[in-house]
Chains A and B, each alone.
Chain A
Amino acid sequence: METLQKNTPIISTAPVTDYEVRSQDTMCTNDSVQQHPWWYNFKYAAVGILFGIVFVKAEIISWFRIQEMFRLQSFHMYGVIGTAIAVGALSVFLIKKFRIKTIHGEPITFTPKKFNKGQVIGGLIFGLGWALTGACPGPLFAQIGTGAIVVAVVVLSAVAGTWVYGYFREKLPH
């Protein structure tokens, strides 16, 4: 009996491992193991510039467009998100199928996400904020770029929200 207990892995009472914490974080840290000089990051800035232009030119950063979406008055945002998912999904499929590597020869990795209550509760909370501010985190920065400097207040408040989440994280249902 003693030996059996020793050999049986403890599942329910096991402490949360770093791996589990990471899957809850939905891969927002340390995806890549390769180290590069800091200025290699400019390639991501270049992708960001393209993204920022699309955000503005397709009016994705428009508060009015977001309201139209949630009032089912326009197909525009559904079309944008739907097409983006279709193109993204095809790309991910091809990358997996042909085991395509990065331009630096590193294998491209995917980490499965784990379901937790946060995706429901946090998702609803974000949705409320999305319709209120008319922006998700990306468009916030683009809105500032178009000259709406006041949106910096929204960004600072979002940083505060993230911090408060981090502070209470252990006490929140997941």
Chain B
Amino acid sequence: MLEVFKQPWPWYVAGGLIGLIVPALLLLGNKHFGISANLRHACAACFPANIKFFKYDWKKEAWNLFFVGGIFVGAIIAATLLADPNPIQVDPRLTQELAGYGITDYSNMVPNDLLSWEALFTVRGIIMMVAGGFLVGFGTRYAGGCTSGHAIMGISDLQVPSIIATCCFMAGGFIMANLILPIIMRL
């Protein structure tokens, strides 16, 4: 039985369970699914700096920090008790492309060749981790949500702004992965 859980889960199981988080949070306390807000709460709690955007009662939003803490613990459980010993399967076209940039390590879901402490001290690594993280934080708050807040919660509630935001997420991703990332990879 445990063997079934240890294999990678198919998309329809994962999608269904993630979809159920929407009603779970609503039923548990009228909470709207959305994760990027916790980055704002972190700012409000630690560095409000008298900025109007960070002046609110972040303690009332503590549920979101517990939720994120749960994600962290859940990942530890999955990576230890439910770990799949096999290397992850990737489309051969991607493997071939990445091999051209010297990326061959598939032991981890976070590629050790790109996202590691050693890589952090290279130009490529700084762009990918520091600049990439900055774009995620700046962009999600500017857009008013991320994949969970807009693409899942927002579209589930049939919000047109969320559909527009999701299309822009995808557009940005396509531009980066196909046009800009190949240049960064060669650095």
Contact = CB atoms under 8 A, between A and B. Distances in A.
Given A71-B94, A74-B91, A128 B175 contact: yes
A1 interface: no
Contact of A63 (B31, B110, B159): B110
B140 A54 contact: no
Across the A-B interface, give the 7 residue pairs with the lowest CB-CB distance, nearest first.
Answer: A127-B172, A48-B70, A52-B74, A87-B19, A83-B15, A122-B142, A145-B75
Contacts of B176: 70, 127-132
Interface secondary structure of B, over-half rule: helix
Interface in A18-51: 24-32, 34, 36, 38, 40-51
27 contacts: A28-B40, A31-B31, A34-B29, A44-B25, A47-B28, A48-B66, A51-B21, A52-B73, A52-B77, A56-B79, A61-B75, A63-B114, A79-B15, A83-B12, A83-B16, A122-B142, A122-B168, A124-B171, A126-B146, A128-B172, A129-B138, A130-B172, A137-B140, A142-B74, A146-B110, A164-B138, A170-B52
A42 B138 CA distance: 29
Contacts, number: 542
B147 A81 contact: yes
Interface of B: 5, 8-40, 42-43, 47, 49, 51-54, 56-57, 60-79, 82, 88, 90-91, 93-94, 98, 106, 108-111, 114-117, 119-120, 127-162, 164-178, 180-181, 184
A42 B14 CA distance: 23
Interface residues of A, number: 129
A9 interface: no
A137 B115 contact: no
B173 to A, nearest CB: 4
B79 to A, nearest CB: 4
B72 A141 contact: yes
B116 A150 contact: yes
A166 interface: yes
A47 B70 contact: yes
Contact of B168 (A71, A124, A146, A150): A124
A52 B161 contact: no
A161 B139 CA distance: 8
B173 A162 contact: no
Give the interface centre of A25, A110, A158 by most chain B CB atoms within 10 Å: A158
B34 A26 contact: yes
